[in-house]
């Protein structure tokens, strides 16, 4: 069984993609990789020409559509652009077959410069996911830029409130979207921290 994480920002160093990393981390911690494969798709890595000119036959597009078809659930992250979702995500969704999301669960995620456009997920993205046949669209996660600040090294950090929302959303994805119970994955204990009894 696999879940596909789709990054819908055209930006390389991306806040919305940082939230996807947060979901990936939580999925890896909750479920053994043998029970759930976590795959990724960055729309910005696909051929821009193929996306813009709707070239369904382009190898990168064929592969991406296959990834969607093979996934049991999707997590789709996008920045808010002009009160909606990103254009690159739109051109990719336009290339999907009409029933591409049939039977699949989807967790939508968005980041925006201000909190005012938090409903963009509901009024802009949700209807499109529904039209593609998604079985279960989970409650989305929205974060403003201030909730994902940069640290001193320039890396985005997920603030406490959003971290909690990602915990809840990942839990709901596993339980309701994938019907998987979380079994914490045992992590290797460093030798220096090992406890012995004699």
Ligand X SMILES: Cc1cc2nc3c(=O)[nH]c(=O)nc-3n(C[C@H](O)[C@H](O)[C@H](O)COP(=O)(O)O)c2cc1C
| Footprint of ligand X (CB under 6 A) | 9, 11, 14-17, 79-83, 111-114, 117, 145
Q: How far is the CB of 149 from ligand X (least distance, A)?
A: 11
Q: How far is the CB of 160 from ligand X (least distance, A)?
A: 18
Q: How far is the CB of 7 from ligand X (least distance, A)?
A: 8
Helices (H), the chain: 15-30, 48-52, 59-70, 87-95, 120, 126-131, 160-172
Question: Please, which residue, 48 or 113, has the CB nearer to ligand X?
Answer: 113
Q: How far is the CB of 111 from ligand X (least distance, A)?
A: 3
Contact 8, 178 (CB under 8 A): no
Question: Please, which residue, 57 or 154, has the CB nearer to ligand X?
Answer: 154
In 3-state terms, what secondary structure has residue 143?
A: strand
Question: Please, which residue, 36 or 80, has the CB nearer to ligand X?
Answer: 80
**CA-to-CA separations, 118 to 121, 125, 127, in angstroms, rounded:** 7, 11, 15
**Ordered DSSP codes for 151-175:** -TTS-B---HHHHHHHHHHHHHIII
Question: Please, which residue, 30 or 128, has the CB nearer to ligand X?
Answer: 128
């Amino acid at each position: 069984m696999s879940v596909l994480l789709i990054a819908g920002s055209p930006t390389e160093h991306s806040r919305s993609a940082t939230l996807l990393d947060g979901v990936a981390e939580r999925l890896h911690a909750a479920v053994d990789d043998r029970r759930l494969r976590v795959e990724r798709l960055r729309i910005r890595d696909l051929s821009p020409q193929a996306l813009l000119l709707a070239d369904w036959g382009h190898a990168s597009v064929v592969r991406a559509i296959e990834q969607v078809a093979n996934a049991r659930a999707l997590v789709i992250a996008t920045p808010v652009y002009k009160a909606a979702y990103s254009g690159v995500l739109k051109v990719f969704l336009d290339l999907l077959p009409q029933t591409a999301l049939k039977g699949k669960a989807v967790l939508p995620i968005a980041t925006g410069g201000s909190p005012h456009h938090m409903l963009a997920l509901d009024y802009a993205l949700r209807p499109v996911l529904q039209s593609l046949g998604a079985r279960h669209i989970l409650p989305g996660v929205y974060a403003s830029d201030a909730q994902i600040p940069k640290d001193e090294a320039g890396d985005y950090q997920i603030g406490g409130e959003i971290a909690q929302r990602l915990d809840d959303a990942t839990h709901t994805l596993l339980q309701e979207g994938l019907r998987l119970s979380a079994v914490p994955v045992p992590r290797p204990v460093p030798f220096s921290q090992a406890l012995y009894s004699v």
